[in-house]
Amino acid sequence: MGLGMVPLGLAFGALVVQSGLDRWWAGLSAALICGGSFECLLIGMVTAAAPVASIAVAAFLVQARHVFCALSFPCTAQGTGSRRRTAASR
């Protein structure tokens, strides 16, 4: 999986440099933002000099999709854990 990220990182770095931003933007955004789609959106918004409030709203809306994934996780983990406890208590 890690090897598959190399082409994505190179493409993102090329996007940053092509947009006219300094190279450190690629490393900073990769370190601070845990969502590839928002990283690409952020480069466009920074290049267009979007207001910070617009960037914050966009970040919330793009990353809000992870809430639905997180909501399904506790039910799955709880069911698995209760099965393990039941099997272990026998």
Question: Could you read off the pLDDT of 44-58 as tens digits, one per residue?
Answer: 999 999 999 999 999
- pLDDT above 90 covers a percentage of the chain that reads 28
Amino acid at 8: L
Residues 41 and 62 sit within 8 Å (Cβ to Cβ): yes
Q: What per-residue confidence (pLDDT) applies to 19? A: 92
- Both structure tokens of 57: 């709203």
- Both structure tokens of 19: 């947009």
| pTM tops 0.85, yes or no | no
Residues 66 and 38 sit within 8 Å (Cβ to Cβ): no
